[in-house]
Amino acid sequence: MEKVLTRNIGVDQKPTDLKAYEANGGYQGLRKVMAGMSPQDCQAVISDSNLRGRGGAGFPTGMKWSFVPSDDKCTPGHKYLVCNADEMEPGTFKDRLLMECDPHQLIEGMILSAYTIGADISYIFIRGEYLLAIQRLRDALKECYASGLLGDNILGSGYSLNMYLHPSAGRYICGEETALIESIEGKKGQPRFKPPFPATYGIYGRPTNVNNTETYATIPWIIQNGGESFANIGVENSGGTKIFSVSGHVERPGNYEIPMGMPFKNLLELSGGVWKGRKLKAVIPGGPSTPVLPAAEIMKTTLDYDGLKNSGSSVGAGSLIVMDETTCMVSTLKRLSYFFYEESCGQCTPCREGTGWVYRVIKRIVDGKGKPEDIDLLLDVSKKISGRTICALGDAAAVPVLSFIKHFKDEFKYFIKNGKSMMDANS
């Protein structure tokens, strides 16, 4: 299988060593661009690649960049580029791998992206707990400045870019791009109303582009090999490769870079299958903010944007959580609902109050005090959260409730009627 993102990652590689990265072809894409490619040329290559944002939304990257006004269409001043490396979606650990094991790939991708949109200041907004990644990125940034790959007049091109590392305090809500921008500005991390969108009104009111770590890390390969080469690896509407963080009840949990469109059953085989010889029960394909799929459905699904959409879920951040036949779906939903309740920023009443009610009702069921009307109550509250908040956290909080009850309603009915899990009865 073609490797784009993890091609340099191996036990013998020196993760932060500039020479090691260059020996593997690193910064050749940047040198190619600085030698004569215009921002418009770069934009066209990325658009041709069919790359879609790897942070969760899956928005076409080239199109997103095109929303940033060109220099002749905006007032004089800075333009910003931000890497969202907060990685707070439960079950996701792919960005950590890329930053710890190949930081120069991310940096090169950010430089190329900044050049394309005309940004002169960039930030890596990184989860504060990622201490090793922070240190390796700091080392890599020092090497870049010392080698003329960052700062003034990069490689003699006339283009200048400064890049800063910004460790975050660690809140799920800062994965939302406007809350991230607020945090960079030194404010409380809460989402902004949109419009205006960051592309025209971002950091300090200036045009800003925000993308995920995996998205930026993909750019050097695309620039070096061409947009069509990347698109041809994947399937229609889902170009290239994608890293899926596989966790839960599998024999070999870990990060797997696969071509978009691979059947789920193939990835399950790569990760050793369901552990202990047990049967597959359900999978959350893209993190808790994406709908759960029962085994019968996910086993016929391909891992790409259209494939998962047609099955009733989505790629999300690629945090693929596998659950075996012993999993109690009611107790699992309790843990997920508590997460969203705790991580709500509290700005929007439907989310602030609704997530609390959802958690308390599910907890009541798990405590053996559930009422027959609780299922309808959970559905009603979740539907009243969804679509009524400034950012998508409200929608994300509603998703597991609606999908768990849709596919595993009998388990909720059993728990309410008997005061215990159906899994306890079967053990």
The number of beta carbons lying within 10 Å of the beta carbon of residue 69 is 15
Among positive and negative, which fits the CA dihedral 30, 82, 96, 329? negative
pLDDT category at 213 given cuts 50, 70, 90 is very high
Give the Cα separation of 422 and 411 in Å (integer): 6
Give the Cα separation of 330 and 152 in Å (integer): 56
- pLDDT in the model for residue 266: 98
DSSP letter string, 311-322: TT---TT-EEEE
Instruction: Let me know: does 283 contact 297? Beta carbons within 8 Å.
Output: no
Instruction: Identify the residue with better confidence: 288 or 55.
Output: 288
- pLDDT in the model for residue 14: 76
pLDDT category at 181 given cuts 50, 70, 90 is very high
Which token pair is 324?
């075996």
CA 231 to chain centre: 20
Q: Is the peptide bond before 39 cis (omega within 30 degrees of 0)?
A: no
CA 271 to chain centre: 20
- Which domains does the chain possess? 18-233 (3.40.50.11540), 241-324 (3.10.20.600), 329-426 (1.20.1440.230)
The number of beta carbons lying within 10 Å of the beta carbon of residue 19 is 11
**Which residue's structure tokens are 């215009």?**
38
Q: Which tens digit of pLDDT belongs to each residue from 147-169?
A: 999 999 999 999 999 999 999 88
> Could you give the 3-state DSSP secondary structure of residue 159?
coil
Reduce the secondary structure of 64-107 to three states and give it as a string: HHHCCCCHHHCCCCCCEEEEEECCCCCCCCHHHHHHHHCHHHHH
Q: Which tens digit of pLDDT belongs to each residue from 20-77?
A: 999 999 999 999 999 989 999 999 999 999 999 888 788 899 999 999 998 777 888 9
Give the Cα separation of 71 and 201 in Å (integer): 14
Which token pair is 337?
């609902």
Instruction: Let me know: does 85 contact 180? Beta carbons within 8 Å.
Output: no
Lowest mean pLDDT among 8-17, 174-183, 281-290: 8-17
- pLDDT in the model for residue 279: 97
The number of beta carbons lying within 10 Å of the beta carbon of residue 259 is 20
- pLDDT in the model for residue 11: 57
Give the Cα separation of 134 and 12 in Å (integer): 21
Residue type, 253: P
Q: Which tens digit of pLDDT belongs to each residue from 294-349?
A: 999 999 999 999 999 999 999 999 999 999 999 999 999 999 999 999 999 999 99
